[in-house]
Homo-oligomer: A and B are copies of this chain.
Amino acid sequence: MPITQQESERVAIVGASMTQFGQREGWIMDLLAEAGLECLEDAGVDAADVEHLYVSNMASGEFEGMTGVPNALAHDLDAMPAYTQRVDQTSSSGGAGIYAAWQSITSGASDMTLLVGGEKMSHRSTPETTDIIASVTHPVEYKTGVTLPSFAGLTARHYLEQFDAPRESLGKVAVKNHKNGVDNPNAQFQKEVDLETVLESPIVADPLRLYDFCPITDGSAALLFCPESVAKEYTDEYVVIAGVDGATDTHVVHEREDPTVMGGVVESGKGAYEMSGYGPADIDVAELHDMFTILEFLQMEGLGFAEQGEAWKLIEEGYTERDTGELPVNTSGGLKSKGHPLGASGIAQGVEIYEQLMGEAGPRQVEADVGLACNVGGFGNCVITTIMEAAQ
């Protein structure tokens, strides 16, 4: 049950950081410590003032044989005796971390919560990584060999046929997000791709091709939260969380009535809108979870930016372009070009919205007072939507 803002003091974000995303040396602790320290420095807050430390991470045990990562990070940052805990919600662990951090502040449990998310994946082979990620699906599906990319292919095929959408519209999502990623110095791929390249890349899950998918990525991102009254002690400029909510859909994907509707997106969006008092028309910039190009359409529709079956028309019209569109989507480059280190991705979405609202996005800057991030776990099995606004 989302609560309305005015019932309690608002939660401020006073610091943000992300590491270079891509193939990184070292191990997850290096990445987390890098992002965590940079975030504290960005905010001018001492590690000793951190009261809660949340680590968003899906699978450090599976990828690196290391658990207890939050304790290790508290030690590395010298944040002890700060309380610490791992937040896992598979690929939406980052968004879940934002929700957990919001709860820690709003409940009064913490006056300064550092959220650091990350994943170190690229040292494992692609089959190994695919298998670890596929473990998020229901065993019934997993055992028949259905992976997240194959769900994406099936859904894309269905979407294109049902709504008479051209295959090119999906390709244009990749083109747009790669173009945005050129201006993100932390993106894994800082290069444009043209539509032909996307459409002629190798088939992965028909009709989706290699360039419809995000890459395998190492990286970390961090955000620092406190009550608004505490934020004012450090700075005049900050961002507040206007609304946040999370929701599940069936874990067995094939039980959903309509594969083109992600219930978790719809429900979490509804909750975040209700809490914030904003609606889709109030959102100036959005980071959507484009793990697969088709997901950008499903979130555009589930969040009310487009009618069902019509998101593809908006990309054709340039509605979501960064410099000329009405609603710039994935100005960061999205998961598609920025990369998708599972536990970091939802937080990196928040970092982009934070920078946009603070006017710190450099060549990616758009006009924005209110921004939204949507972080999708599994194939929409659990989704967290966060709405942020510049403090006034």
Which residues from chain A sit less than 8 Å from chain B, CB to CB? 1-3, 7-8, 51, 58-59, 61-62, 65-68, 70-72, 74-76, 79-90, 96, 99-100, 102-104, 106-111, 132, 135-139, 245-252, 263-264, 267-268, 377-378, 381-382, 384
Q: How far is it, in angstroms, between the C-alpha of A74 and the C-alpha of B267 when the chains are bound?
A: 15
Query: Would you list 6 pairs from A and B whose C-beta atoms are within 8 A, ordered by A residue?
Result: A59-B61, A68-B381, A85-B88, A85-B99, A85-B382, A103-B109
Does A85 contact B87, Cβ atoms closer than 8 Å?
yes
Does B59 contact A109, Cβ atoms closer than 8 Å?
no
Does B96 contact A85, Cβ atoms closer than 8 Å?
yes
Residue of B nearest to A11 (CB): B107
Most chain B C-beta atoms within 10 Å of own C-beta, residue among A65, A71, A264: A71
A65 CB to closest chain B CB, in angstroms? 6
Does A107 contact B106, Cβ atoms closer than 8 Å?
yes
Q: How far is it, in angstroms, between the C-alpha of A106 and the C-alpha of B136 when the chains are bound?
A: 30
Other A-B pairs, 20, CB within 8 Å; known A62-B62, A67-B88: A3-B108, A62-B67, A68-B90, A68-B251, A70-B382, A71-B136, A71-B248, A71-B382, A72-B251, A80-B247, A80-B250, A81-B248, A81-B263, A84-B246, A85-B99, A86-B86, A99-B109, A103-B103, A103-B107, A103-B109
Given A108-B7, A109-B2, check contact A68 B248 (CB 8 Å): no
Give the number of times this chain occurs in the complex, counting copies.
2
Q: How far is it, in angstroms, between the C-alpha of A384 and the C-alpha of B137 when the chains are bound?
A: 31
Residue of B nearest to A380 (CB): B71
Does B107 contact A102, Cβ atoms closer than 8 Å?
yes
Interfacial chain B residues near A59, Cβ < 8 Å: 61, 67
Partner of A378 from B68, B103, B137, B268 at Cβ < 8 Å: B68
Q: How far is it, in angstroms, between the C-alpha of A307 and the C-alpha of B236 when the chains are bound?
A: 48
Interfacial chain B residues near A1, Cβ < 8 Å: 51, 108-111
Q: How far is it, in angstroms, between the C-alpha of A32 and the C-alpha of B296 when the chains are bound?
A: 34
Q: How far is it, in angstroms, between the C-alpha of A173 and the C-alpha of B248 when the chains are bound?
A: 44
Q: How far is it, in angstroms, between the C-alpha of A8 and the C-alpha of B9 when the chains are bound?
A: 13
A94 CB to closest chain B CB, in angstroms? 12
Partner of A139 from B66, B70, B247, B251 at Cβ < 8 Å: B66
Residue of B nearest to A264 (CB): B81
Does A86 contact B83, Cβ atoms closer than 8 Å?
no
Residue of B nearest to A2 (CB): B109
Partner of A100 from B75, B85, B267 at Cβ < 8 Å: B85
Interfacial chain B residues near A71, Cβ < 8 Å: 90, 136, 248, 251, 377-378, 381-382
Interfacial chain B residues near A109, Cβ < 8 Å: 1-3, 99, 102-103, 106
Q: How far is it, in angstroms, between the C-alpha of A71 and the C-alpha of B71 when the chains are bound?
A: 25
Does B61 contact A248, Cβ atoms closer than 8 Å?
no
Residue of B nearest to A133 (CB): B67
Interfacial chain B residues near A107, Cβ < 8 Å: 3, 8, 102-104, 106-107
Residue of B nearest to A78 (CB): B250
Residue of B nearest to A76 (CB): B251
Q: How far is it, in angstroms, between the C-alpha of A283 and the C-alpha of B251 when the chains are bound?
A: 43
Q: How far is it, in angstroms, between the C-alpha of A77 and the C-alpha of B167 when the chains are bound?
A: 38
Residue of B nearest to A60 (CB): B135
A93 CB to closest chain B CB, in angstroms? 8
Q: How far is it, in angstroms, between the C-alpha of A51 and the C-alpha of B248 when the chains are bound?
A: 10
Interfacial chain B residues near A72, Cβ < 8 Å: 138, 251
